[in-house]
Amino acid sequence: MRILLTLALACAAHAYGGDTTPPNVLLIFIDDLGYCDTELYGCDTVPTPNINRLAAEGVLFTDGYVSSPVCSPSRAGLLTGRYQQRFGHEFLPSTQPGSTHGLPVAEVTLADAMKEAGYVTGMVGKWHLGSHENFIL
């Protein structure tokens, strides 16, 4: 429900401008990236012209916090909008063959909420939320 409210807020903000087309949503989640590891936030490090353009034409968040210092639990928390400890995903899932550890399939994710709202969703990159076939998109 919280995820749907967030999506509704984004759509309402877009609609306020008079456009009835739902906004495109791009979520970039990067593990272990420091605040000044790119030029996006004014640092003289790795050039990121395309990311800079996305931020200039969209929304740039200047403060962000994760609910875990480890990639898989923080990713699970972000995608569900819940503290991952509430559904047993506070540790890295095992990647051993046949392991059934991972993001519980009963959890509603941001992708589920967006599909329900009529969006087409996709994911590129590292999944790391379980390697059993039940967890693969």
Strands (E), the chain: none
Q: Which residues pair with 38 in a beta bridge?
A: 46
3-state secondary structure of 12: helix
pLDDT at 70: 85
User: Where in the sequence numbering do the catalytic residues fall?
Assistant: 71, 128
pTM attached to this predicted model:
0.70
> pLDDT for 74-133, tens place per residue?
889 989 999 999 999 999 888 888 888 888 889 999 999 999 988 999 888 888 888 877
Nearest to 38 by CA among 54, 57, 58: 54
pLDDT at 5: 56
What are the domain boundaries of the chain?
31-64
End-to-end Cα distance, the chain: 21
